[in-house]
Structure 1
Amino acid sequence: MYMKIIILTICVWRAFSQTEAGDKLKEMDYLDGSIVENKYLLPSINISEHSEELTNHTNEKVSVGLSRALDFYNTQLLAANWNTIKIELSEDCAKDMQTYIDGLTAGATWALKMDDASGRYSTGWFWGNQFWTGSQSLCENVSPVKGVILANGSDENRLSNVTEPLQYESYKKLLMIHSQQPQFDLGYFVLRVNINNSFTSEERILHIGLCLPDVCTNEDARVLFEETSRISQKVSLKVGAIRSRHQRYNMFEDVTFLLLCTVTAGVIVLLISGTAFDVYIQQMRKKKKTLVINCTTYSPAGNDLSETVTKLDMGTSGFYMVSGKGDDNNNGRDQASSGTETPSDAGNKYREIKLNKQFILCLLRRLVLAFSIRVNVNNIFNQSVGSDTLSVIHGLKSISIAWVILGHTCLVAFKYSDNMEYRKVVHKEFMFQTILNATFSVDTFFFTSGLLVSFLYFRANAKGKLDHPITNKISGFWSGFLHFFGLIIYRFARLTAPYLFVIGVLEVTMKWFYYNSVFEPPTLDHVNCPNYWWRNLLYINTLFPVNEMCMLWSWYLSDDTQFYIVGAVLLILAVSHFKSAAALLLLFVLSSWMTTGFIAFSNSHLPGADDPLALFDKIYDKPWTRLGPYLIGMCVGWLLFKTKCELRMNKLTVIIGWFLSSIILLALVYGLHEINLSPLAGAAYSALSHSVWALGLAWIVVACTTGYGGYVNKLLSASVLYPFSRLTYCAYLLHPIALRVMVMSMDQPLHLGKGVMPVLFLGQVVASFVLAFAVSISFEGPSVSMLRILTKLTHSQEGSR
């Protein structure tokens, strides 16, 4: 008896010992190899009442892994609780889901593919993976079958020979389950799910893809997901939004898409016509036949032309060339004043009507020629610097646009990656400051814009090219106002054609991706562009909240245009009141610094520690915080004009200048690495950093244009950079669209690593410039050419009156 008690006691002790050892082993296995913060430790969780059928109706607490706690859309739960769940579904959805469950139970391939196409937790919860997308392409390629298609003819014959209704339905269902394809259409649903749990400190948002019968509604998808995801009481979830093809976007019912097609077709016709006409002109030149397209020759606006009009042998085109010079004595005017119409007067009227027709025809031909692909391609690849820029500017613009593309590539890649937290790792690396501070690239564009506007304006004014017959007839305020108005109209006409086209492309593509992509668009362009495109057209979109902005990166164009308006006022004023203009410019710069510093200090913005775009709507995109570099560029432009790009500096001055410039630029990009600023220092940095960057660039431009650039000037002035510089405007407009198309066309999120980003960046540079080239020769190049034609025309016409 005692012996039995002793043996029983030993057995019980050993059993408890093994259980405790097992529990400790499970915990050690989970914690082995890493130190986990308390907030990330997984507690033991209760299996919910919905899973009792899976645990023999026990309420036992068990230690589980992360995959158990995040086991959403559990098809095992779906099958176990189907009788309860199907009541909440629509009739058609419940019917097809029943077939799906039967297929899963029978191990049918098509059902397993559907299950495999739905997204679930795999790995990367703490690495920032919020895209459990499954595979949309797999779901779409599990092709539905119309009707009953059997493996062989004997099966079909046997089905047709079944006469009993119950036997027929049973046999049909059996064949349906074991078929290689489902008997219903499939739909892919993307659910945005808000997750609250006890093992992370903040709410998480997941994007989960489900492959379900297409007849299921969004509400059906919500019920199916929520009812099959209650495995853990430590995790609560709520479906925030659902996207599916039930909200299909039809391009052909979209006015914007139809308008884009019309414009594109019209431009293609003009490109073909312009190129064909250009080829025709080249052939005439080879045949040594002169084709005059200088329309000022035909100007009938008061010009006194000789009576000789020679018709060239150009077939039936009726293209005329006026020969001879005007009669300085203007005898016809004396005769007309007598009130008697002479034969000479009648001839003059006939000749004037004829010249009007010739002038209009010539003008139309010149405008069509502006669309010549050959001409516009030659303009892009022309190796001459051009009278409207400086050689060093080409290099600065080319490097800056590459820097902009790099920064945007990283932003988009991190947003659509399954390891978002990887950014926090590379964020600590020294060279990653190059990406974090890519915001200075935009300041380079502001600086070069201000410089060229100022330099070219003062140079044109000195040569008398700004004199216009209209403004010369009046003086004072109205002369300045008309001059100012002309500058604004010229800029608007030059920029707007490609800008509007790209806005239309963005609106249509984002609408399409919103309803067809696994991922949600990064911004609300599909909503904002149809409602607020007019703000972009007026270049005032930065004066409104960022959540209402169409084409987020267009903030630069808005600011640059507003700066151009300010600059035009200062330049017109400087011609007659230079000191007043200089004082006003200084006031603008100081006001910008003070405003930026105040906003940064009020919002406790700490550069280096905070995201550079943290205060996008308060600091980053507002014109009153970014004005400094533009005005500094204007000052440099005036300096180069006054010195005629010729300065004499001794060697010590040159060395000090290059040293200070290099230190300034490198310190701004890399100087805040692992440095924490005080609120006051952070405000000062926010206020001054952009202007200081412009000062660093100022030395580079001055040194390179005055002969002290050395190897830097050779690099920045390299002729190979000229085409890239001329395409920067269109590349800036288009590169974010190329980025979005790449990412949102994918089935799965990116997985980032050090070797991935350079490949993505180089690919985006190539894609962006290819697209920019196409848009430039179609819209930007013709717009600039036509503006030059019309500008020269107005000068010649008004000058002849």
Structure 2
Amino acid sequence: METTLILFLTLSLTQGEVLLKLVKLQATKLITTSEIGENCAEDLSLLISDAFDLKLWALKMLDATSKINSGLWNGNAHFFGDYDQCLSIEHNTHNNTIRGQYCTAVLSVDPNVLNGDMQFLKLQHHVKIVNGLKFEGIFEHLKNASGGFGICVPKSCSPRDLATLLLNVKKKFKLPITLSFEEDLCVYKGEPSKISKLDVSVCYGLVLVVLLMCGSTIYDVYLQGSGVFRFLSVNRNMKKLLHQREDRTLNCVSGIKVISCFWVMLGHAAIGGTLLAKNIFYTVTEWRWKPMNTFVWTGHNAMDTFFTVSGLLVSYTYLKSSQKSSTGLFTFYTNRYVRLTPVMLLTILIQSSLLKIYVEGPYAKIMLDIFIEKCYDNWPSMVFYTINLFLHTKTVVTHIWYLSCDFQMYLLAPIFLFFIRKHPRKVTAAMALTFLLSVLYSFAITGIKKVGFTVYEWNQDFAYYLAFSTFHHLPSWLIGIFCGYLLQHENIKIPKNLNVCLLFVSFLSLIMLMVNQLTHLEGEYSVYRAALWNGLARPAWSLSLCYIIFSCATGHGGIVNSFLSNYVFIVLSELSYSIYLVHGGIMLFIFGNSRQTLFFNNHQILLYFMEICMWTLPLSLFTYLAFEAPILSIKNYMFKPKKSDSKEE
């Protein structure tokens, strides 16, 4: 018995050794027959030889390369490997030093595998049976989907060498996948820095701003100075931030703005979570059907809240100030441009420079390209607030699209505001006509382009013609404009019972507009239903919101007004613009430094959200103190009559 067992083990080991030698022979043959660089071929041959000899550096390089992980049926298509281990590899030979190079390859399944009778492991059937998920739309998306695959190779191998080698591997073994490489997606330790002179200048400029803030604060607090140099004083700007406004009519708007800001960040945290999810199918099957999750994936409603509030504040503040003094068209536009643009450009410039320095990881370059390179390419459209008009030619757009829409609407404001006091009926009729044309536009686009209305049905046509279109969001802004006009009328009395009923209906409408999207996902796509939703849902949202504001502003809000007018909301609302600008860069910092995929669920979304808030709030405060508040002071100094310093405070 023992002799038989020993003989069996000997034969097994012999067969295993023969198999390993065969694998080594085939791998070496592939390297030598592929048209790759001489140095790359030598280093790869040495890698294979030393790996079979169990040398540590070679084993570490193979270990750092990604392997196909479990969870493919859940959509796990990102395989990072070990980024840091790969970059730490350094092996000295008699005439060369081999260093580890980490390359992120784009992994995609060949289209012919997903067609006809050769469907990849009956994927079509699998997708069909999961929670009633509609196969057609999701499967078409899967055909164009791709994942990431981290490969650790010697630095001497260029992306072109790797592409050539893997193409030969694919042909020889008839693999149903494709790995594509780009020069920018390969990283190695000691590579030339891509930090430009502009980035260095920005860092020095940031240090200078901090020093000026310190000097201005000392000048303000200890020397009791006055004048323009106090504009950078932390003490002065903190007092302005924490100071209660004299006009408390619209304090309730503060709570709405802050809740909307955090809602946007929560939605973006969920989007970021899906980028690194190892269970991406879960997000489009089980997760989206849970009623509580509709609050997360309907966060785009917060943008219409911003448009409504923007229109209301523009209308209310202009009509109120025009009672005391008139505002010229040039001043009206310049005031807004100076309010928005310098802070936006400075924030984006600083984020772009700092992210290059502090973001490093398997997907860092891919994510930075979304923000930095596209921002550099699109800077004229950002400066002139037209970035939302070029989505067909520039496929990636940052969250700055909202500012473009908002500024374009602001350009229309004088048409209504300059004449509404003298000709209220004519202006109201013009607003109603514009409102109707915008609704009809949304109807028509939905019918022509056959677009959907939920986030799960978004595509480039929906983004360009509806989601990022100024004309599509115009009804929300016009409703805000009209609400601001109505608030100019004093002593508005609303019967208590009627007010309670209208508040209840308003809150119920907001909830139903979120939950109702969930019920629409269950049925087949209907162009009529989509057209009705795209045309009327946003105006309905804005009308409900405006009544809540109107009730609170006229003294009928009760506990609702007390909550929305909380002092914490008032302070945070002053930071809302900085929060909106800063949080996008924070997301890239968090997700760009990720080293592994994570399981997507509500707990993970909450962790992402809390981390985004933890970084965003203090950095938004710094942005406000260093840029926004000083620029506001300069703007007020330029566009208002000069006052004594005591009055200014």
Q: State the aligned residue count.
A: 594
1:94 aligns with 2:41: yes
Unaligned runs of 5+ in 2: 1-14, 125-141, 645-649
In the aligned structure 2, how far is the partner of 1:251 from the partner of 1:183? 23
C-alpha distance after superposition, 1:750-801 (max 9, x if no partner): 32223211111122122111221111111101001111222234699xxxxx
Output aligned runs, 1:337-736, within 5 Å.
366-382=227-243, 384-387=244-247, 390-424=250-284, 425-462=286-323, 464-466=324-326, 483-508=328-353, 517-518=362-363, 520-521=366-367, 524-545=370-391, 547-548=393-394, 551-608=397-454, 610-612=456-458, 615-643=462-490, 646-675=491-520, 676=523, 678-736=526-584
The alpha carbon displacement at 1:514 in A equals: 9.4
Alignment correspondent of 1:766: 614
**C-alpha spacing 1:690/1:439, structure 2 compared with 1 (3 Å):** same
- Deviation track 1:231-268 (CA, whole Å, cap 9, x = no partner) reads 7536242525452137967344353x244235324422
Cα contact 1:532–1:550 (8 A) shared by 2: no
Label 1:131 to 1:230 Cα distance change in 2 as closer, same or farther (>3 A).
farther
Report Cα offsets for 1:351-370 as digits up to 9, x if no partner: xxxxxxxxxxxxxxx22101
- Cα 1:739–1:120, aligned 2, differ >3 Å: closer, same or farther? same
Deviations 1:414-457 (A, max 9, x none): 02222211202201111121122111101111111111111111
Cα drift, residue 661 of structure 1 = 0.6
Per-residue deviation, 1:532: 2.1
In structure 2, the CA distance between the partners of 1:108 and 1:234, relative to structure 1 (3 Å rule), is: closer
Query: Which one has a larger percent helix, Structure 1 or Structure 2?
Result: 2
Deviations 1:660-693 (A, max 9, x none): 2122111111123233363112201101111111
What code does the residue aligned with 1:119 have? S
Distance in 1 of aligned mates of 2:24 and 2:213: 60
RMSD, aligned CA: 2.9
Range with bigger deviation, 84-93 or 212-221: 84-93
- CA deviations on 1:520-549 (whole Å, 9 max, x unpaired) are 228644433222201101111112225527
**Stretch moving more, 542-551 or 246-255:** 246-255
- Residue 550 of structure 1 and its aligned partner are, at CA, apart by 6.9
Distance 1:265 1:466, change over 3 A: farther
**Hey, what's the Cα distance between the residues in 2 that align with 1:240 and 1:92?**
19
Q: Secondary structure at the match of 2:482?
A: helix
Distance change (3 Å), C-alpha of 1:526 and 1:655: closer
Q: Does the Cα contact within 8 Å between 1:567 and 1:631 map onto a contact in 2?
A: no
| Counterpart amino acid of residue 454 in structure 1 | S
1:168-220 C-alpha deviation (Å, 9 max, x unpaired)? xxxx69xxxxxxxx952111111113322341455452311111111111122
- Alpha-carbon displacement from aligned partner over 1:478-516 (angstroms, at most 9, x marks no partner): xxxxx1111111111111122002222354466679996
Contact 1:77 1:228 (8 Å CA) reproduced:
no
- Bigger mean CA offset, 203-212 vs 551-560: 203-212
Query: Do structure 1's residue 278 and structure 2's residue 214 form an aligned pair?
Result: no
Counterpart of 1:162?
none
1:98 Cα shift? Answer: 2.5
* Selected match of 1:190 from 91, 104, 108: 104
State the Cα deviation string for residues 366-395 of structure 1 (Å, max 9, x = none). 22101001111222233x135497210110
**TM (normalized to structure 2)?**
0.85
Structure 2 distance, partners of 1:627, 1:516, is 41
Q: What is the rounded CA distance, in whole Å, between the counterparts of 1:263 and 1:461 in structure 2?
A: 39
> Structure 1: 5+ residue runs without aligned partners?
1-52, 58-73, 149-171, 174-181, 283-290, 294-365, 468-482, 797-801
Aligned-partner Cα distance in 2 for 1:460–1:130: 57
Contact 1:598–1:683 (Cα < 8 Å) also in 2 = yes
Task: Compare 748-757 and 427-436 and name the one that shifted more.
Answer: 748-757
Q: Indicate conservation of the 8 Å contact 2:30/2:169, yes or no.
A: no
Whichever residue aligns with residue 596 of structure 2, its letter is Q
Q: Alpha carbons of 1:597 and 1:632: their partners in 2 closer, same or farther (altered >3 Å)? A: same
Equivalent residue, structure 1, for 2:68: 121
Q: Kindly tell me: are residues 528 and 586 of structure 1, through their superposed partners in 2, closer, same or farther at Cα, counting changes over 3 Å?
A: same
Aligned-residue offset at 1:552: 1.7
1:116 shift after superposition: 0.8
Confirm or deny: 8 A CA contact 1:97 1:213 kept in the other structure: yes
Aligned: 1:250 with 2:222: no
In the alignment, the residues of structure 1 paired with residue 33 and residue 358 of structure 2 have an alpha-carbon distance, to the nearest angstrom, of: 34
Moved more, 749-758 or 609-618: 609-618
Distance 1:123 1:211, change over 3 A: same
C-alpha contact 1:184 1:214 (8 A) present in aligned 2: yes
The alpha-carbon deviation at position 134 of structure 1 amounts to: 0.4
Q: Return the letter of the residue paired with 1:191.
A: A
**Contact preservation (8 Å) 1:267, 1:778:** yes
Deviation of residue 269 (structure 1)? 3.5
Residue 318 of structure 1 corresponds to which residue in structure 2?
A: none
Using the alignment, how far apart are the partners of 2:54 and 2:171 within structure 1?
25
Q: Is the 8 A contact 2:103 2:150 kept in 1?
A: yes
Q: Contact 2:492–2:554 (CA<8 Å) still a contact in 1?
A: yes
8 A contact 1:195–1:238 mirrored in 2: no
Query: Highest Rg: 1 or 2?
Result: 1
Q: Please tell me whether the aligned partners of residues 273 and 368 of structure 1 are also in contact (alpha carbons under 8 angstroms).
A: no
- Alpha-carbon distance in structure 2 between the residues aligned to 1:183 and 1:664: 67
**Counterpart residue number, 2:29:** 83
User: Aligned residue for 1:7?
Assistant: none
After TM superposition, the score normalised by the length of structure 1 is 0.69
**Alpha-carbon spacing, 1:248–1:621, altered in 2? closer, same or farther (3 Å):** farther
1:75–1:710 distance in 2 versus 1, CA, 3 Å? farther
> Which of these residues, 140, 150, 154, is aligned with residue 87 of structure 2?
140
Instruction: For 2:215 and 2:547, locate their aligned partners in 1 and report how far apart those are by CA, in whole Å.
Output: 47
Residues 710-744 of structure 1: per-residue CA shift (max 9 Å, x gap): 22111101111122111111111111211111111
Provide Cα deviations, 1:57-93, integer angstroms capped at 9, x if missing partner: 9xxxxxxxxxxxxxxxx99846533034234332212
| 2-structure distance, mates of 1:721, 1:515 | 35
